[in-house]
């Protein structure tokens, strides 16, 4: 997809951070943009900021973990702009600093509800809308560098699990949408200047309501070094849509850790060659 003029995009989690950066880049390329977020006040501020770049910009409040809310956002796109061409399933929450056995059931429901079901709900609502007009389009799902490996020592297994799921969903979606001319990208950024570590403050009531996660506070400084501005990530995503990149990386510092994981998998295949030959399969 290279022609963005007067076509339409929706971006979830667009009130700040990566979502806002992506929305700015798409608007600057000439797209109509629907900003979607759970937080009304910062969402309106974001709408004004994106509108200042030119083009038509609207905003809709959405809880991506609620399929009816996402469906309503899709209807708002149709009502205000018509056809949808780009969907960015970006909204996400953090779950760092807590060992797996200490993550509560409410926390599991919340982090999976937003990070996994939010993407699923976006796929179910937005992909049929892109298919419907037959002009092709693009879907961007925001994963993380944690979609590719689990960083040791930060107790981020619950978060990484959800981002592995986003990668699997994206790989499957890419296979299933080729016939419709719909590209798929999975964004796997490292540290970006966002408010994700404050996401517990806006946890919906049905998941237990707002609360504090002090165990994440120490990680803020750890992620600040080398953190990219969201606008830079937004421009990277715009380029990825143009070039139909599947893996969209923004940082290269984790190359060795991810390569080591791949080497471990390769070694497991080599061991399977040796061990399976010795096992009685009768």
The rounded distance, in Å, linking the Cα atoms of 200 and 95 is 9
The average pLDDT across 71-90 equals 98
Report whether pLDDT(251) > 80: yes
Q: Quote the pLDDT of residue 225.
A: 67
Q: Quote the pLDDT of residue 279.
A: 92
Known catalytic residue at 159? yes
The rounded distance, in Å, linking the Cα atoms of 76 and 240 is 26
CATH number at residue 203: 3.40.50.720
The average pLDDT across 207-219 equals 87
- Residue 137's φ and ψ, nearest 5 degrees, are 170, -155
pLDDT tier for residue 187 given thresholds of 50, 70 and 90: very high
- Residue 73 falls inside a structural domain: yes
Q: Quote the pLDDT of residue 214.
A: 87
Residues 6+ apart with CB under 8 A from 203: 93, 110, 209, 210, 211
Report whether pLDDT(115) > 90: yes
Q: Quote the pLDDT of residue 70.
A: 98
The rounded distance, in Å, linking the Cα atoms of 104 and 275 is 39
- Residue 118 falls inside a structural domain: yes
The average pLDDT across 19-39 equals 97
Report whether pLDDT(90) > 70: yes
Closest among 84, 85, 104, 82 to 95, alpha carbons compared = 104
The average pLDDT across 51-79 equals 97
Q: Quote the pLDDT of residue 223.
A: 67
The rounded distance, in Å, linking the Cα atoms of 41 and 54 is 21
The string of DSSP letters for 151-206 reads: PTTS--HHHHHHHHHHHHHHHHHHHHHGGGTEEEEEEE---BS-SGGGGGGG--GG
Report whether pLDDT(164) > 80: yes
Going 131 to 30 to 189 to 103, the CA torsion angle's sign is negative
* Domain that residue 74 falls in: 8-252
Out of 62-66, 125-129, 185-189, 211-215, least confident range: 211-215
Q: Quote the pLDDT of residue 2.
A: 82
In DSSP terms, which residues pair with 8 in a beta bridge?
32
Report whether pLDDT(277) > 80: yes
- Residue 63 falls inside a structural domain: yes
Q: How far apart are the first and last CA of the chain?
A: 53
Closest among 30, 25, 6, 5 to 240, alpha carbons compared = 25
Residues in the chain: 282
Report whether pLDDT(226) > 90: no
Q: Report the mean per-residue pLDDT for the chain.
A: 95
- Residue 160 falls inside a structural domain: yes
When divided into structural domains, the chain yields a total of 1
Rounded percentage of the chain residues whose pLDDT exceeds 90: 89
The rounded distance, in Å, linking the Cα atoms of 68 and 101 is 32
Structure tokens at 262: 């791949």
The Cα-based distances of 67 to 36, 56, 73 in angstroms read: 14, 26, 10
pLDDT tier for residue 224 given thresholds of 50, 70 and 90: low
Q: Quote the pLDDT of residue 281.
A: 80
Closest among 62, 188, 60 to 118, alpha carbons compared = 62
- Residue 155 falls inside a structural domain: yes
Report whether pLDDT(195) > 90: no
- Residue 270 falls inside a structural domain: no
Beta strand 8-12 with 57-61 is unpaired
Answer whether 34's CB lies under 8 Å from 111's CB: no
Q: Quote the pLDDT of residue 54.
A: 86
Residue with more model confidence, 223 or 247:
247
The rounded distance, in Å, linking the Cα atoms of 192 and 220 is 11
């Amino acid at each position: 997809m290279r022609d963005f003029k007067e076509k339409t995009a929706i971006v979830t989690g667009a009130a700040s951070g990566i979502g806002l950066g992506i929305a700015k880049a798409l608007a600057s390329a000439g797209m109509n943009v629907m900003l979607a977020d759970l937080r009304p006040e910062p969402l309106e501020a974001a709408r004004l900021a994106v509108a200042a770049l030119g083009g038509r910009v609207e905003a809709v409040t959405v809880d991506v973990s609620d399929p009816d809310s996402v469906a309503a956002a899709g209807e708002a796109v149709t009502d205000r702009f018509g056809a949808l061409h780009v969907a960015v399933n970006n909204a996400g929450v953090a779950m760092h600093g807590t060992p797996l056995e200490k993550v509560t059931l409410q926390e599991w429901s919340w982090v999976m509800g937003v990070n996994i079901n939010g993407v699923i709900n976006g796929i179910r609502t937005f992909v049929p809308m892109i298919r419907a007009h037959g002009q092709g389009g693009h879907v961007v799902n925001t994963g993380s560098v944690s979609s590719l490996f689990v960083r040791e020592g930060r107790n981020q297994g619950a978060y990484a699990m959800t981002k592995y799921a986003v990668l699997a969903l994206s790989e499957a979606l890419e296979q299933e949408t080729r016939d419709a001319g719909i590209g798929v990208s999975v964004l796997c950024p490292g540290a970006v200047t966002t408010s994700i570590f404050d996401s517990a403050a806006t946890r919906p009531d049905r998941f237990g309501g707002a609360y504090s996660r002090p165990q994440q506070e120490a990680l803020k400084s750890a992620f600040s070094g080398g953190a990219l501005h969201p606008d830079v990530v937004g421009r990277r995503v715009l380029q990825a849509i143009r070039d139909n990149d599947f893996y969209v990386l923004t940082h290269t510092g984790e190359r060795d850790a991810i390569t080591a994981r791949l080497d471990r998998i390769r070694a497991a295949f080599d061991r399977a060659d040796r061990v399976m030959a010795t096992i009685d399969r009768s």
